[in-house]
């Protein structure tokens, strides 16, 4: 017999039932939505009653692009996101290494574009700070890293690979050194990192995660371990993407992992911060490079044709404008070689889609392609004088174009790309509302939809009924402590959301202005009808009958 949970006295985000304050969950599904008087009828049927104290109850978030183990490692270990110069970097590194007794040192998050002085530590300084340990320290975009001589000695072939240098390693050299460093962690360390990641996601009201696995970003073993952990009760829904060009072997791995498709971090190019995003013209701050290109138009097309014929999603990591050209041309070529209706039905994905042109967006809409985007990228690096502008000059004004995509009818979902940015979805919603380019701002309602229902729809038509609060839907929910509901709008072209109760408009939280965000606090996350996270101060609001 399925367990029933009754939620009372909540401000429920259910547009089809705009004055709802109560809900009954039967097993995994929402069985009833109504008001206080109706809740009393159901009270005796419930095994558990949650007294929501007027808190905001909404669909849980979907983080549509994550790297679980890497994020967990950072949460458990060396977080370099806050250092502001070389001396701080080396001091933090040395203090951390003292506790590892010679084990591999993994860290993440340094971003010299935000430092007081952009001088990076040398390999020799890293060696001295860690007493000769094997050290891998990824840049915030995870497309370059600082490493120790000990790590290089373990992978001597890296010296002959593209991207090897005395400073940060990039491209193929970075991939080889990263693979060795991550493979050196124990199974116990991996499990602890993954458990930490899931716990953190649930605390942020995240009910579904899209893991971007692959041979160059993680491993089959890592993805298998994550899948096993996600199968346990109370864990978020997990969708795995395997980032490798389609082949019989790829198809076997996808089948074994029960993956959604062959895509995600299947790289056409790199990242702007590491100057490996592939550009039409040279970088503003380094005229000697246009970045890195890993796949051709023909390879993109062949991959998407093979995925379409196999009935699975395909997709690519794509950021630079030249990389976007390759992605769009490849998709257009693929459609000419297969059934357009089959192609559209699968909703192939472009991760990041950082520098789309207007004509790219039109093609994406026409072909049913989905853009999986990260609003915090703009919040962190899109400001005047920020990293994007220093790397790209005027080109930085037309990046991360979720406003244009939505205005032209193309599908968008939101994510963190953690550990690049944190799994904090309300921050992402706020960032999407306050894009540095006024023309790319979207309403809070549109941003919330992209980070909830949009993430489910990005997985395919079989998930189209998820991410909403209505009878028959899966109970994947989060309850939030919200200060008020006076929701701001992106600009004067958009009508203010009504807070008049006679309007029957269901409000969302007031997230504050561009400079002073107001972020709701999660007190309870429900996954498939089960309480998966409960904030300590809210625990006394949950009671059990019988």
End-to-end CA distance of the chain: 15
- Which of 98-112, 298-312, 360-374, 458-472 shows the lowest per-residue confidence on average (mean pLDDT)? 98-112
Q: Which CATH topology does 4-59+468-482+520-544 take?
A: Urease, subunit C; domain 1 (2.30.40)
List pLDDT tens digits, range 114-170: 899 999 999 999 999 999 999 999 999 888 999 999 999 999 999 999 999 999 999
List pLDDT tens digits, range 430-487: 999 999 999 999 999 999 999 999 999 999 999 999 999 999 999 999 999 998 885 4
State the CB neighbour count (10 A cutoff) for residue 228. Answer: 11
Q: Is beta strand 144-147 parallel, antiparallel or unpaired with respect to 169-170?
A: antiparallel
Look at residue 62 and tell me whether its pLDDT is greater than 80.
yes
Q: What is residue 186's predicted lDDT score, i.e. its pLDDT? A: 83
Q: Is beta strand 313-318 parallel, antiparallel or unpaired with respect to 349-352?
A: parallel
Report DSSP state, residue 512.
Answer: B
Contact at 8 Å (CB) between 145 and 136? yes
Query: Which CATH number is correct for 69-183, 3.40.120.10, 3.50.50.60, 3.40.50.300, 3.10.310.70?
Result: 3.10.310.70
Report DSSP state, residue 273.
Answer: T
pLDDT band with cut points at 50, 70 and 90 for residue 505: low
Q: What is residue 149's predicted lDDT score, i.e. its pLDDT? A: 96
Look at residue 501 and tell me whether its pLDDT is greater than 60.
no
Q: What is residue 154's predicted lDDT score, i.e. its pLDDT? A: 95
What is the CATH code of the structural domain delimited by 267-463?
A: 3.20.20.140
Report DSSP state, residue 143.
Answer: S
Q: How far apart are CA 251 and CA 240, in angstroms?
A: 13
Q: How far apart are CA 264 and CA 242, in angstroms?
A: 7
Look over the chain and give the mean of its residue pLDDT values, rounded to a whole number: 93
Task: Give the mean pLDDT of 38-62.
Answer: 93
Give which of 328, 322, 319, 379 is closest to 351, Cα–Cα.
319
**Residues carrying CATH 2.30.40.10, the chain:** 4-59+468-482+520-544
Q: What's the residue count for the chain? A: 546
How much is the CA Rg of the chain, to the nearest whole Å? 23
> 505: exposed, middle or buried (C-beta count within 10 Å: 0-12, 13-18, 19+)?
middle
Backbone phi, then psi, for 472, in 5-degree steps? 95, -15
What tokens does 500 get? 């008049």
Task: Give the mean pLDDT of 236-259.
Answer: 97
What tokens does 13 get? 């985000």
Look at residue 100 and tell me whether its pLDDT is greater than 90.
no
Q: What is residue 488's predicted lDDT score, i.e. its pLDDT? A: 42
**Tokens 């709008």 — which residue?**
489
Q: What is residue 486's predicted lDDT score, i.e. its pLDDT? A: 59
Beta carbons within 8 Å of 346's beta carbon, 6+ residues apart: 261, 307, 308, 311, 312, 313, 314, 368, 460
List pLDDT tens digits, range 194-232: 999 999 999 999 999 999 999 988 899 999 999 999 999
Give which of 216, 137, 208 is closest to 171, Cα–Cα.
216
List pLDDT tens digits, range 364-412: 999 999 999 999 999 999 999 999 999 999 999 999 999 999 999 999 9
DSSP 204-217: TTEEEEEEEE-TTT
């Amino acid at each position: 017999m399925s367990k029933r949970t009754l939620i009372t006295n909540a401000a429920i985000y259910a547009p089809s039932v705009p004055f709802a304050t109560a809900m009954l969950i039967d097993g995994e599904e929402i069985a009833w939505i109504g008001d206080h008087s109706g809740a009393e009828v159901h009270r005796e049927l419930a095994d558990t009653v949650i007294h929501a104290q007027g808190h905001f109850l909404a669909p849980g978030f979907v983080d549509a692009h994550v790297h679980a183990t890497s994020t967990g490692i950072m949460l458990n270990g060396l977080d370099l996101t806050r250092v502001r110069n070389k001396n701080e970097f080396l001091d933090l590194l040395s203090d951390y290494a003292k506790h590892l007794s010679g084990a591999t040192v993994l860290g993440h998050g340094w971003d010299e574009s935000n430092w007081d002085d952009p001088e990076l530590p040398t390999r020799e300084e890293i060696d001295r700070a860690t007493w000769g340990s094997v050290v891998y320290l990824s840049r915030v975009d995870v497309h370059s890293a600082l490493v120790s001589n000990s790590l290089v000695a373990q992978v001597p072939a890296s010296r002959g690979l593209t991207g090897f240098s005395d400073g940060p390693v990039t491209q193929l050299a970075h991939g080889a050194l990263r693979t060795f460093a991550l493979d050196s962690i124990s199974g116990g360390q991996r499990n602890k990192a993954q458990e930490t990641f899931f716990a953190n996601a649930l605390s942020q009201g995240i009910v579904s995660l899209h893991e971007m696995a692959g041979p160059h970003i993680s491993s089959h073993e890592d993805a298998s371990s994550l899948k096993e952990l996600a199968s346990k009760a109370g864990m978020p829904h997990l969708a795995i993407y395997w980032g490798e060009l389609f082949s019989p072997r790829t198809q076997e791995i996808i089948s074994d992992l029960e993956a959604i498709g062959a895509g995600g971090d299947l790289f056409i190019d790199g990242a702007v911060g590491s100057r490996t995003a592939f550009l039409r013209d040279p970088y503003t701050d380094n005229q000697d490079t246009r970045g890195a290109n890993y796949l051709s138009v023909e390879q993109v097309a062949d991959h998407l044709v093979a995925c379409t014929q196999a009935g699975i999603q395909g997709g690519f990591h794509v950021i630079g404008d030249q990389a976007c050209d390759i992605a769009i041309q490849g998709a257009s070529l693929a459609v000419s070689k297969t059934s357009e209706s089959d192609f559209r039905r699968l909703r192939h994905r472009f991760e990041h889609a950082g520098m789309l042109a207007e004509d790219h967006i039109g093609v994406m809409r026409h072909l049913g392609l989905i853009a999986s985007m990260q609003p915090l990228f703009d919040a962190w690096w899109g400001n005047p004088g920020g990293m994007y502008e220093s790397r790209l000059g005027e080109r930085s004004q037309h990046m991360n174009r979720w406003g244009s995509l939505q205005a032209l009818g193309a599908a968008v979902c939101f994510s963190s790309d953690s550990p690049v940015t944190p799994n904090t979805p309300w921050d992402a919603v706020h960032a999407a509302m306050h894009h540095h380019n006024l023309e790319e701002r979207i309403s809070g309602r549109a941003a919330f939809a992209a980070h909830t229902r949009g993430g489910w729809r990005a997985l395919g038509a079989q998930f189209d009924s998820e991410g909403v609060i209505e009878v028959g839907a899966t109970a994947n929910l989060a309850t939030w402590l919200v200060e008020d509901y006076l929701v701001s709008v992106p600009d004067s072209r958009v009508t203010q959301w009504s807070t008049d109760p006679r309007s029957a408009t269901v409000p969302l939280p007031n997230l504050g202005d561009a400079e002073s965000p107001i972020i709701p606090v999660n007190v309870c996350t429900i996954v498939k009808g089960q309480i998966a996270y409960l904030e300590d101060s809210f625990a006394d609001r949950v009671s059990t009958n019988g």
